[in-house]
Structure 1
Amino acid sequence: MGKFITFGEIMLRLAPAGFERFAQAKEFGAVYGGGEANVAVSLANYGKDAYFVTKLPKHEIGQAAVNELRKYGVNSSMIVRGGDRVGIYYCEKGASQRPSKVIYDRAYSAIAEAKREDFNWKEIFNNAEWFHFTGITPALSDECAAITLDAVKAAKEAGVMVSCDLNFRKKLWSSEKAGKVMGEIVKYCDVVIANEEDAEKVFGISAEGTDITGGTINGEGYKEVARKLTDRFNLKYVAITLRESFSASDNGWSAMLYNGKDFYSSKKYRMHIVDRVGGGDSFGAGLIYGLTSGLTNQDALEYAVAASCLKHTVEGDFNLVSKDEVETLMNGDASGRVQR
């Protein structure tokens, strides 16, 4: 089995207890997380040889982030050490009609100030099978965008499958800049993962008949989105997660997959949310696992959606569920009955 490489930023997440608002909080719980780190943890949990690549300070907070990855079986040997800051984000959990809120304090983090010469991609991709990143990483700085472009080029030269979750973040860059930068990077990708609005925000490709704010999702419209992405970038797969937001507490959750020829649609789950952060990352990890573990396209999609559904019940960024738990839900047992 080859190495599964992910590249991005791991941050310190600070959150008020329960559903307290920031203004109420007298203390903040601390965990670590970040898009590509979340994917690495899931892949390691499913038995893959997962590596996380980033840059972290040598001080104790940076080491604590490394230790957290190691705790869950992620190989940290390719993490570059240096810089002064670990990025922070504050997360206030929403409930009912009050949305969750995220405030970033990630400027000047070690990875945001990383240099192209920090990473030896030829060495990193030796014996690698898969490389995953998100659109968050090239948004961190112009240098990070250049580093990501170096990475995908090196991955293709090494014959490594490349996946990208578009993950548009308007607090990090504009749609115009995202489209320009990602338009160059995605040329080297095999798999693109997007939520119901990423393709529109990044590439101006929208689905007809959809009202995201109103919670109306038109699955047929997203087939055209998948076709256009595939045709533009010559992709092997496009996966789109479809979230129906009834409220901050209750969502509908499903996804579709396109392999350039056939469309696959998953079953739909109605979720009562404990923590939705990392939901998309858990889908991406589940899809990567399914596509590399002998599952059919339909089953790979169902595995990814079930894994992500379960993540919404887990506190923190990481999806701490087993393969058996994912397969149980995937195979139809959504009862939630106590296991004795």
Structure 2
Amino acid sequence: MAKKVVTMGEIMLRLSTPGYQRFTQAESFDVVYGGGEANVAVSLANYGFDAHFVSKLPENPIGQSAINHLRRFGVNTDYIAKGGERVGIYYLETGASMRPSKVVYDRANSSIAEASSKDFDFDAIFKDAAWFHFSGITPALSETAAVLTEEALKAAKRNNVTVSVDLNYRKKLWTPERAKEVMSNLMQYVDVCIGNEEDAEKVLGFKPGETDVTKGELQLEGYKDIFKQMKEQFGFKYVVTTLRESYSASDNGWSALIYNGEEFYHSKKYDVRIVDRVGGGDSFAGGLIYGLLAKDDFKQALEFAVGASALKHTINGDFNLVTVDEVETLIQGDASGRVQR
């Protein structure tokens, strides 16, 4: 029987400029749907798990389109509540070379931002579940969303469900001060903490050593120092970060680091030519959850997560549409990109 995994958050309508056009050039937008925890659910469904996405969407054709998009890729939508006024929107301008990508949000007062625990039976949702994943984006949506997130976490723990978080700081949604206040409280429910150097600093107040990602440099000792502090303060089972070396908007180095309280492990690094980096971190989280549930040890889990997310950078849209076999082929050494016949 496939393991039941649950994610909760916002799925948005994504409107992207065609190709590499700027907003000021575009006369049309490409439509896809996506959002942090929805992207993780799609990854886990692709890997054969019984993936459930919890959210709230309006009863209109756009809300239904978002649901249909999830169902298309095998995600169970039974726990999506209906109601509220709107689906959140974000606009994406894809960068290239030295020009960064840009995102403009139009998500205020979306259905999930105004949802409450009355919309969900969390004990039923977490019955027989193996894992629950959320991100720092969800409690940042509104005061009520922060309360809702903690209610979900309490129910997950009542049902002995392993919990992971992707810290995912979004400066357009809240301040570092508010993020620390809310997220530090939620960490008491978390087993696996995922976050990059900005997330660790802005959300939890931890800063690594002399690391400057804008220069494409990594100082692993700085991460090791904050990982130890984070584990000591919050008691995480694993602390994990992706390591993005940003040579340009088109080319990145991509690897990850994990700490289990006794040992640090740095994964293989991939040099990635980027098609679409949106959802890269979510694809990593999905790969890590799969790996920790299906693999023999945490090092194998990390290698799977890094391989899966490296592949995501080559796929347009928010979702990582790869299979376990495709990831395994890559991490076992075939990164040639040759045609598979």
Q: TM-score range by the shorter chain?
A: over 0.9
Q: Deviations over 1:234-258 (max 9, x none)?
A: 1101111010100000001000111
Between the aligned residues of both structures, percent identity stands at: 62
**Structure 1 portions without partners, runs of 5+:** none
Q: Which runs of 4+ in 1 moved over 4 A?
A: none
Tell me how many residue pairs correspond in the alignment: 340
* Aligned-residue offset at 1:203: 1.5
Q: Matches of 1:34 and 1:87 in 2, distance apart?
A: 10
Q: Deviations over 1:187-207 (max 9, x none)?
A: 110000002321011122111
Q: Answer whether contact 1:116 1:143 (CA < 8 A) is retained.
A: no
Please say which of residues 131-140 and 108-117 is displaced more in the overlay: 108-117
Q: Matches of 1:307 and 1:338 in 2, distance apart?
A: 19
Q: Matches of 2:31 and 2:337 in 1, distance apart?
A: 28
In the alignment, residue 314 of structure 2 is paired with which amino acid? T
DSSP-derived class of the 1:14 partner:
strand
* Aligned-residue offset at 1:294: 2.9
- Which residue is 1:221 aligned to? 222
DSSP-derived class of the 1:63 partner:
helix
DSSP-derived class of the 1:164 partner:
strand
What is the TM-score normalised by the length of structure 2? 0.98
1:150-299 mapped onto 2 (5 Å cutoff): 150-299=151-300
**Structure 2 portions without partners, runs of 5+:** none
Q: Matches of 1:204 and 1:182 in 2, distance apart?
A: 11
In the alignment, residue 278 of structure 1 is paired with which amino acid? G
DSSP-derived class of the 1:5 partner:
strand
Q: Matches of 1:294 and 1:217 in 2, distance apart?
A: 28
Q: Matches of 1:180 and 1:116 in 2, distance apart?
A: 21
Q: Deviations over 1:257-308 (max 9, x none)?
A: 1111111110111111000000000000000000000332111000000000
In the alignment, residue 173 of structure 1 is paired with which amino acid? W
Q: Matches of 1:335 and 1:214 in 2, distance apart?
A: 27
* Aligned-residue offset at 1:116: 2.5
Q: Matches of 1:301 and 1:294 in 2, distance apart?
A: 10
Q: Answer whether contact 1:138 1:146 (CA < 8 A) is retained.
A: yes
DSSP-derived class of the 2:231 partner:
helix
1:4-15 mapped onto 2 (5 Å cutoff): 4-15=5-16
* Aligned-residue offset at 1:60: 0.7
In the alignment, residue 169 of structure 1 is paired with which amino acid? R
DSSP-derived class of the 1:98 partner:
coil
- Which residue is 1:3 aligned to? 4
Q: Matches of 1:264 and 1:256 in 2, distance apart?
A: 6
Q: Answer whether contact 1:196 1:243 (CA < 8 A) is retained.
A: no
What is the TM-score normalised by the length of structure 1? 0.99
Q: Answer whether contact 1:283 1:304 (CA < 8 A) is retained.
A: yes
Question: CA RMSD of the aligned region, Å?
Answer: 0.8
In the alignment, residue 304 of structure 1 is paired with which amino acid? A
Q: Matches of 1:43 and 1:141 in 2, distance apart?
A: 27
In the alignment, residue 126 of structure 1 is paired with which amino acid? K
- Which residue is 2:315 aligned to? 314
In the alignment, residue 191 of structure 1 is paired with which amino acid? V
DSSP-derived class of the 1:64 partner:
helix
Q: Matches of 1:208 and 1:238 in 2, distance apart?
A: 17
Q: Deviations over 1:171-220 (max 9, x none)?
A: 00000000000001111100000023210111221111211222211112
DSSP-derived class of the 1:151 partner:
helix
* Aligned-residue offset at 1:2: 3.6
In the alignment, residue 143 of structure 1 is paired with which amino acid? T
In the alignment, residue 112 of structure 1 is paired with which amino acid? A
DSSP-derived class of the 2:226 partner:
helix
Q: Matches of 1:196 and 1:280 in 2, distance apart?
A: 13
* Aligned-residue offset at 1:153: 1.1
- Which residue is 1:121 aligned to? 122
DSSP-derived class of the 1:337 partner:
coil
In the alignment, residue 137 of structure 1 is paired with which amino acid? T
DSSP-derived class of the 1:222 partner:
helix
Q: Matches of 2:120 and 2:143 in 1, distance apart?
A: 16
